[in-house]
Amino acid sequence: MIPWGASVRVHWNRGTPREHRLGLWVPLFLVWLILLPLLLVLFPLIALGCVFIGVDAVELYETAWRIVSSLPRTWVEVKTGEFWVWVHLA
Amino acid sequence: MGDDRRQILDLLAGGKITADEAERLILAVEKSAAGSGAAASEPGGTATGTTPRPKYLRVLVEGDEQITGMKGGTTVNVRVPMRLLRAGVRLAGLIPVQAHQQLDQAFTQHGVPITLSQIKPENLEEIIDQLDDLTVDVDGKDGNPMKVRVFCE
């Protein structure tokens, strides 16, 4: 399943009385919807390019799909003295 | 000697498989037999007889102010699904043949004598499979407090 959303949490001024917290849910499915028409146009062009450079276009699409569909449950956390950023793909 | 091994040796004797393939097949048979034995003896054993496989690769990097230039210690914590690694290694199979030579030269120049054309997707799959037991701990020395930890969970 491709990632439908991303949770982003940011804390800054950590450990101080002025600590701020921000939590966002980014609807990635809207990004996919917006990109879909563009991808439909690009697919034949990419396939043509693949023929020229000798790459199997079907395998390329399959690999790209596998990579995108493997992204859910990936997370990245960066913590410094003042900031904390956490991004989680769901 | 089991029937499976006998069949493998017959195939080898008949020249239908190479010695390397025969060795891998025998190892696979042994692994399968050991796994089924473990499953039978352990109440929590899975249907395939193996312990639950790690699902994620974790990379933890810790550095202090001297290294990052940021106030306080910095920690970078990344969790990547093993599925993503498996999908990623398939990209190696998509490198055009004409690029192999240039990449080989670049690798050799940087002290990594690799011949890309000899690396097959199944080899990379084997590497990913072996990552299950991987744990790498790197601690900085001589006043360098950087710590790197790579492991599967």
In chain A, % helix, strand, coil (3-state, to 5) comes to 45, 30, 25
Residue in A75, A76, A80 nearest the CB of B72:
A80
- Residue with the two structure tokens 């917290």: A21
The predicted pLDDT at position B50 comes to 59
For the residues B91-117, what does the mean pLDDT come to? 83
Q: Which two tokens stand for residue A1?
A: 């399943």
CB contact under 8 A, A80 and B91: no
The predicted pLDDT at position A86 comes to 95
Could you list the beta-strand ranges (E) of chain A: 5-12, 20-27, 75-79, 84-89
CB contact under 8 A, A63 and B96: no
Q: Are A73 and B81 in contact (CB under 8 A)?
A: yes
One-letter amino acid identity for B42? E
The predicted pLDDT at position A82 comes to 84
Tell whether the model's pLDDT for residue A46 goes beyond 60. yes
Angle at Cα A86 formed by Cα A83 and Cα A87, nearest 5°? Answer: 140
CB contact under 8 A, A71 and B84: yes
The predicted-structure confidence for A3-27, as pLDDT tens digits, reads as follows 999 999 999 887 788 889 999 999 9
Residue to substitute from A7, A73, A89, interface B, most B β-carbons within 10 A: A73
Q: Which residues on neighbouring strands pair with residue A79, listed in sequence order? A: A84, B75
The answer to whether ipTM exceeds 0.85 is no
Q: Are B83 and A63 in contact (CB under 8 A)?
A: no
Burial class (CB in 10 A: 0-12, 13-18, 19+), B53: exposed
Residue in A55, A70, A75 nearest the CB of B87:
A70
A74, closest residue in chain B (CA to CA): B80
Query: Across the A/B interface, how many CB contacts are shorter than 8 Å?
Result: 75
Largest Cα separation within chain A, whole Å, is: 61
Query: Taking the model in full, what pTM does it have?
Result: 0.65
Tell whether the model's pLDDT for residue B47 goes beyond 60. no
For the residues A83-90, what does the mean pLDDT come to? 93
B63, closest residue in chain A (CA to CA): A80
More confident residue, B118 or A87: A87
Nearest Cα of chain A lies from the Cα of B83 at a distance, in angstroms, of 6
For the residues B107-135, what does the mean pLDDT come to? 78
Q: Are B41 and B132 in contact (CB under 8 A)?
A: no
From the list B51, B13, B8, B52, the residue with the least C-alpha distance to B30 is B8
The predicted pLDDT at position B34 comes to 62
Q: Are B75 and A79 in contact (CB under 8 A)?
A: yes
CB contact under 8 A, B77 and A76: yes
Which residues in B lie closer than 8 A to residue A79 (C-beta atoms)?
A: 74-77
Which residues in A lie closer than 8 A to residue B97 (C-beta atoms)?
A: 54
Confidence of residue B12 (pLDDT cuts 50, 70, 90): confident
More confident residue, B103 or B69: B103
CB contact under 8 A, B72 and A73: no
